Amino acid sequence: MIPPLAIALSVTVFPKLWSKRDREAGFLNYVMGSSFITEGAIPFAAANPLRVIPALAVGAATTGALSMFCGAASSAPQGGIFVFPLITNLGGYVIAIVAGTVVAAVILSILIKKQNAKA
């Protein structure tokens, strides 16, 4: 869930860093990320892999570490917010997702800003 949610958050909070086309595509990532569909992040990663992939990986790792620390787990392999009733320690799970999303969005925005400054 983290890659598309982080991109969506970045285009929402830092819209000036992104083109109009990226912003429009980024907003769709809220729905895709909430549904556990990562494919919305692919165009962003393909267009700028050296900045996007590391940021999203750090955010996803943050989420994974926090969810393991909290003992949060999902018995469903897929489903996003639709399987929340199946999650153990839902509070810890949500905190992990929010934290990882924010971490990835901030790192992504910093890296994109540095790229734009060089251009």
Q: What pLDDT score was predicted for residue 116?
A: 75
Amino acid at 96: A
pLDDT digits (tens, 9 = 90+) for 22-70: 999 999 999 999 999 999 999 999 999 999 999 999 999 999 999 999 9
3-state secondary structure of 98: helix
Whether the per-residue pLDDT at 117 is higher than 80: the answer is: no
Q: How many domains does the chain have?
A: 1
Domain span at residue 49 reads 2-118
For 90-115, what is the mean pLDDT?
A: 95
- Tell me the pLDDT of the chain averaged across its residues: 93
